[in-house]
């Protein structure tokens, strides 16, 4: 499981080649998937430069709520010490999918990072992005065999005196609960740092890279924290956490 919570580009200064002022480029750093960024109509190339001000480590990038078409010809994420892109130190080709685009890579520590998209056949005639997150990802220890998934809502049902049910209908969402069976002291410290970064309210991307669960999701922590327990006569601990999907 790869946790992408350490968003090292969240404070970067952004520049872009084309911007619809009603959908500004800064929206890609907003944690809400409803805040969108767009190029001007008729512009199907989008080049975003992230200036972090100083070198930061990035080894993962995720893009959500996008309109990138299946015919996209260039979809790259790059990193370099200077704002020059003839031969960047990091040059990663991303694979377009209809949902969340995400890739983990060797990465490096550089001041400048760039997302470069050429999508000439996009029938919307503009590029739209919801959330773009560049992170120093954490690969957690292997999770246990029991993974619990739920499909829920926060709708509160009320029954009237006449016996009729009614209530305000809220959006449905999914939760995932996992367990770790063998955590070292160092693993627990890493997971606590992860919780310090996001608490229970800041969304982040997470990649479930298990053989039978292979999916990237945008989630928050659904519990009050990470719970661990010592195993008697063992150097390991076990732990549990639940996540809630952001819509």
What is the pLDDT, as a whole number, of residue 142? 80
pLDDT interval class at 185 (50, 70, 90): confident
The domain boundary, picked from 118, 137, 156, lies at 137
Cα–Cα distance, 236 to 219 (Å, whole number): 27
d(CA 25, CA 22): 10
**pLDDT at 233 (0 to 100):** 64
DSSP-derived 3-state class of residue 25: helix
pLDDT of residue 150 exceeding 80, the answer is: yes
108 within domain boundaries: yes
Residue 58: pLDDT band (50, 70, 90) is very high
Q: How many domains does the chain have?
A: 2
CB 148: neighbour CB atoms within 10 A? 10
* Token representation of residue 174: 């999914």
Mean pLDDT lowest among 74-88, 89-103, 112-126, 131-145: 131-145
On the question of pLDDT at 148 being above 90, the answer is no
Indicate whether 199 and 179 sit together in one domain.
yes
Local confidence band at 170 (pLDDT 50, 70, 90 cut-offs): confident
**Mean pLDDT score of the chain, rounded to an integer?**
92
**Separation of alpha carbons 71 and 80, rounded Å:** 27
- Summarize the confidence of residues 46-64 as an average pLDDT: 98
Backbone φ, ψ for residue 241 (5° rounding): -160, 155
Place of tokens 């009320």: 158
Whether residues 106 and 216 fall in one domain:
no
Place of tokens 């693993």: 187
The 3-state DSSP class for residue 44 equals: coil
| Residues 130 and 26 occupy one common structural domain | yes
Is pLDDT at 211 greater than 70 in this prediction? no
Flag whether pLDDT at 232 surpasses 80: no
**Cα separation values, 234 from 180, 182, 237, Å:** 15, 10, 8
Residue, of 233 and 199, whose pLDDT is higher = 199
CA distance 121 to 91: 23
* Domain limit, last residue, from 137, 168, 197: 137
User: For residues 172 and 99, what is the distance between their CA atoms, to the nearest angstrom?
Assistant: 18
For the chain, what percent of residues have pLDDT higher than 90?
64
Instruction: Note whether residue 40 is domain-resident.
Output: yes
- Domain range for 167 is 148-245
Residue after which a domain boundary falls, among 107, 137, 167:
137
What pLDDT band is residue 1 in, cutting at 50, 70 and 90? confident
Query: Do the Cβ atoms of 205 and 7 come closer than 8 Å?
Result: no
């Amino acid at each position: 499981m790869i946790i992408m919570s350490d968003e090292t580009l969240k404070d970067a200064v952004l520049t872009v080649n084309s911007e619809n002022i009603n959908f500004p480029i800064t929206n890609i750093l907003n944690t809400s998937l409803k805040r969108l960024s767009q190029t001007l109509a008729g512009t199907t190339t989008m080049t975003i430069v992230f200036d972090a001000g100083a070198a930061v480590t990035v080894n993962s990038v995720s893009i959500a709520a996008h309109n990138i078409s299946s015919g996209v010809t260039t979809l790259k994420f790059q990193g370099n010490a200077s704002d020059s892109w003839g031969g960047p130190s990091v040059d990663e080709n991303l694979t377009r999918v209809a949902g969340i685009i995400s890739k983990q890579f060797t990465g490096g520590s550089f001041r400048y990072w760039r997302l470069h998209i050429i999508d000439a056949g996009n029938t919307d005639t503009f590029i739209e992005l919801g959330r773009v997150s560049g992170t120093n990802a954490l690969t957690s220890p292997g999770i246990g065999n029991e993974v619990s998934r739920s499909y829920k809502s926060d709708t509160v049902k009320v029954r009237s005196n006449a016996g009729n049910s009614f209530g305000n209908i809220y959006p449905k969402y999914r939760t995932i609960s996992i367990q770790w069976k063998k955590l070292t002291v160092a693993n627990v410290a890493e997971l606590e740092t992860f919780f310090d970064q996001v608490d229970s309210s800041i969304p982040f991307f997470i990649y479930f890279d298990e053989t039978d669960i292979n999916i990237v999701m945008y989630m928050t922590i659904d519990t009050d924290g990470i719970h661990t327990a010592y195993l008697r006569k063992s150097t390991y601990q076990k732990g549990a956490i639940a996540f809630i999907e952001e819509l």
